[in-house]
Structure 1
């Protein structure tokens, strides 16, 4: 059976989203209720993940640009599968490794997660752009987002069901999906649009890779628009770490769930995630039909508006007096994130040369990881000294500089 590049990309996005949603819909129950991790430990887990991304992202991006995007993606799939499966078998290992705490084991798994993600980050986008061209990037990324949201709907149900059987099962299932996806890509993923760099005679592999990295750095330095995008990713990372790690804890410990007969905590997380994915699916479909998502100015205007709305929504969630208020804010944030992701990918890839695309995309991910590594501890310290509400408000305020960046881009355009 022969699959074209677009079909393979859609399968990859669907299956990865299915795995991620299955794991992360109810991960808070596993981490907080089962393993007993406190807010500080949750942020340490995030910090280890982001530090591994920060350290390895540049190297893995260079591998994708120097040797093969396909190889980089496949390696990443297997590393991600191992990392997630390690957490899935944690209850079994707990008896065999009495001297290693659950928290330490989670940190080890995060290293696999982080390094595996760096092999995929940038390489998958660079691969599909090379295979299909830049003319319809916005449409492809919007379509991929729709497939991801459909996978989310399925993954939410799986996550809730598996979590009720055992809180660790979603991670085991997600890890197996990633391993299976790696096998699928070995057989069906082709690489026809990428030409590896020709190595000069006598040039070592390390020298060739360093030259690729330097080429990417020079591209960013000489392109003002890429420097502005770098700032966006930095502040986005600083803001996202606090919100991503603490919004479930805010719901569990400070807001609370309505006492409705038969609806468990896992089911509430599933309901919220399902509503968010469904609304996001409608929003993405509407944007895909009504907006010219291949037009760069429309993309930037859209991200400016969405960022302003997200600031308001995060602060509204942080200050929510009850569950109803918090639910509306969460759903709005979910819709905003669903729309922002493909718009950002389009904007970024329209401004990068093909020869260093994976390297530059990896540098952008490094910027995001740096923002998360710097912003996460600050937001966590505020939560420790004051409250989780204060941490979430801080996370919302960290998005404000991005509005200035988008405003500058629009004026220059």
Structure 2
């Protein structure tokens, strides 16, 4: 059987992940709100559940990836995630059972599903980037990350259409289909994913706990001795605090604030599909233009891009929250999508360029924990504000939480 190049396996893996995610999360808010009956605070608490899971397990799974195998860690992740999403999509059937319905609510079942999902996310977080960087080299990852993000966006276009079609039949179907795609991805990776440049820790067989603890301590020491990594860890905390509030509430904000324009027979499901689809097309074009206009492998380009785009992100988040005009709010959302599509791969490349191979997945996992801490601390606070006052107030607060990241990026530029 012919083998695929490392970068092509990475591209396919993330295209399938993006396809599955787009199928599930284009209409997930409507599923959570209308089918499962969640309120704004419960929406945030669902996010908090997965972040607490990440905080607890992230370092452990990152150490496993650095000690034993990034490939095995990634494959485990895909099967766990597939099972979690299929479970979440099956909640309406479970609550329809008199046995389950009498004991567990849809909200509790969703919390269980998110806990399982969180474990899967920790096995994937850091391991995929560490695997790619070791296999192709640090000098090549920036362009691969940018190209991957473009391919992810293209895959998500198909996912949006599929999501709307499935949700029009039943709101839980996108989760079931997305989970099946993750299972199929796991099978694909078992066959085609190779790991040639990973060096397994020698003591992993004789004394696994000692080997894993040594790997973890090596990662922590590496971060402590590099001020730039300490700064990025702090930035990650504030990014997490901001993203949790916005990602969980933007759909609820549109549903609560606006009466969606009446165009033919378009309902909210179709509207969200259109919003995602057009926004994705715009982001693909913006990314292509940006990487042709600027050399995204240069650290200076990355630093200035992150600084100015983060300022723009704060401004457009506030506009999105406060504008009384439906179409202007959608425009702001699309701009925020462009910003995220450009800055995310740049941040990944900049971070990976600072790391050493032996503790790469561990350090990336610790960074993931920082993001989870931000989401875990900021999310419930923002959720309480949204429930007690207004969702738009919570969204403005989410934007303000990003200001410290701008300050830290500015300090790096000055240095």
Question: TM-score interval w.r.t. the shorter chain?
Answer: over 0.9
| Match of residue 249 from structure 1 | 252
Scaled by the length of structure 2, the TM-score of the pair is 0.97
Matched, 1:71 2:72: yes
Stretch of structure 1 that moved more, 92-101 or 239-248: 92-101
Distance 1:383 1:40 in 2: 7
| Match of residue 268 from structure 1 | 271
Correspondences of 1:4-403 after superposition (within 5 Å): 4-96=5-97, 97-98=100-101, 99-199=103-203, 204-403=207-406
1:184 deviates by 0.4
Does structure 1 conserve the Cα–Cα contact (< 8 Å) formed by 2:10 and 2:132?
yes
Runs of 4+, deviation exceeding 6 Å: none
1:254 deviates by 1.5
Stretch of structure 1 that moved more, 355-364 or 253-262: 253-262
Stretch of structure 1 that moved more, 175-184 or 258-267: 258-267
The unaligned stretches of length 5 or more in structure 2 are none
Partner-residue secondary structure (3-state), 2:202: coil
Distance 1:333 1:242 in 2: 14
Partner-residue secondary structure (3-state), 2:265: coil
Aligned length: 411
Stretch of structure 1 that moved more, 246-255 or 358-367: 246-255
Stretch of structure 1 that moved more, 129-138 or 58-67: 129-138
Scaled by the length of structure 1, the TM-score of the pair is 0.98
The unaligned stretches of length 5 or more in structure 1 are none
RMSD: 1.0
Distance 2:120 2:67 in 1: 18
Distance 1:61 1:395 in 2: 29
1:200 deviates by 8.0
Distance 1:131 1:221 in 2: 26
Stretch of structure 1 that moved more, 368-377 or 286-295: 286-295
Partner-residue secondary structure (3-state), 1:151: helix
Partner-residue secondary structure (3-state), 1:199: helix
1:356 deviates by 0.4
Stretch of structure 1 that moved more, 93-102 or 1-10: 93-102
Partner-residue secondary structure (3-state), 2:139: coil
Once the two structures are superposed, what CA deviation does each residue of 1:298-320 show, in whole Å capped at 9, x if it has no partner?
Answer: 11111111101100010001101
Distance 1:59 1:14 in 2: 27
1:174 deviates by 0.3
